[in-house]
Amino acid sequence: MAIINNIKAVTDALELAMTKDNNVIVFGEDVGTEGGVFRATQGLQAKFGNNRCFNAPISEAMFAGVGLGMAMNGLKPVVELQFEGLGLASLQNIITNISRIRNRSRNKYSAPMVIRMPMGGGIRALEHHSEALEAIYAHIPGIQVVCPSTPYDTKGLLLAAIASPDPVIVLEPTKLYRAFKQEVPDDFYTIPIGEAYKIQEGNDLTVVTYGAQTVDCQKAIAMLKESHPNATIELIDLRSIKPWDKKMVIESVKKTGRLLVVHEAVRSFSVSSEIIATVNEECFEYLRAPLSRCTGYDVIIPYDRGEGYFQISPKKVLVKMQEVLDFKF
């Protein structure tokens, strides 16, 4: 087992998939010669050749359509978009073609393809380089969306996405690319899409999160011991945004009676909205406090000087946890 960060986990997953299946093709802006803007594909072109790992023109609108054509003809493309905000140009193909080709062709064709995108802020990037737009992709029928937080999950979910017979969008938090390392198996393994991970057990509050906010929540829980030494928090990392693990979340809220959903994307019409609505429908009689969330604000993500005001922090999560725990009917 190797001790690696999230970037190396992406590289290892792609290398394993390309070794196992000659139909796996990797392309995107600078992914061949440079290894991508974050160096996630470094060394793949040298190992597998220009036909299987190559640079594409600067046209996100084109990437998705080319990937679909490949997928319909027996290949398994892994398309890298440099940043999630730039990927909006590919939405027309994702919504109108990729997501519905199986339905449109009455199962004659499918789209076994992966679209990888760095997501979120925290690295003081330029405009369109810090968006968290997972709710847009999750809203589209026929599309699966995953967002890993650890190197182990990054490798396992990416391999599962490549193996999927249908299109998967893999969102990779930029803030976590090189944030920490973890022991990860060298061999091929997958994590089932739609299966959350319970980071820790608890009885007083369920915290549901994903991506970069798993780290913020863990830090906030450690800080909570000062004000609420006897409170125990159940922390769930969704890992998959669509489909999401309703069973685990609902069972947890029925036990704790309280829920806090944390993500950096804007608040309105978000992943937290879907989770809270579902939990309200399924767990209303179990609730001991109003369902709550800690999210980004409904504004355009600020430039680097103001980014810290927008970003989720352990302190913000701590305050929301205290509010939910202290609520009295």
For 215-241, what is the mean pLDDT?
97
Residues in the chain: 329
Q: Is residue 192 part of a domain?
A: no
Task: Give the DSSP letter string of 301-313.
Answer: PP-HHHHHHHS--
Domain boundary pick from 119, 151, 184: 184
pLDDT of residue 34: 87
Residue 25 shares a structural domain with residue 149: yes
Q: What are phi and psi of 138, to 5 degrees?
A: -65, -20
Q: Tell me the pLDDT tens digit for each residue of 167-191.
A: 999 999 999 999 999 999 999 999 9
pLDDT bin (cut points 50, 70, 90) of residue 252 is very high
Q: What is the pLDDT of residue 98?
A: 96
Read off the pLDDT band of 33 (50, 70, 90): confident
Q: For residue 109, which phi and psi values (nearest 5 degrees)?
A: -125, 155
Look at the chain and report how many structural domains it folds into: 2
Write the CA distances from 286 to 8, 45, 251, integer angstroms: 43, 54, 10
Instruction: Tell me: do 28 and 61 sit in the same domain.
Output: yes
Question: Averaged over 51-66, what is the pLDDT?
Answer: 89
Q: What integer pLDDT is reported at residue 40 of this predicted model?
A: 94
From 152, 184, 216, give the residue that closes a domain.
184
Please tell me the least confidently modeled range out of 63-72, 117-126, 181-190, 295-304.
117-126
| Statement to judge: residues 231 and 104 lie in one domain | no
pTM over 0.85: yes
* CATH assignment at residue 319: 3.40.50.920
Q: Which of 129, 139, 228, 263 is the catalytic position?
A: 129
**Residue 129 designated active-site:** yes
Average pLDDT over every residue of 71-89: 89
Domain boundary among 184, 216, 247: 184
How many whole angstroms separate alpha carbon 309 and alpha carbon 17?
A: 40
Q: For all residues of the chain together, what is the average pLDDT?
A: 94
User: Tens digits of per-residue pLDDT, 274-319?
Assistant: 999 999 999 999 999 999 999 999 998 888 778 888 889 999 999 9
pLDDT above 80 for 86: no
Contact (CB, 8 A) for 140 and 115: no
Residue 69 CB coordination number (10 Å): 14
Q: What is the mean pLDDT of residues 20-33?
A: 94
Question: What CATH number did the domain enclosing 40 receive?
Answer: 3.40.50.970
Whether residues 172 and 212 share a domain: the answer is no
Print the domain residue range for 7.
Answer: 2-184
Q: What is the largest CA-CA distance in the chain?
A: 64
pLDDT at 59: 83
Average pLDDT of the segment spanning 95-112 = 95
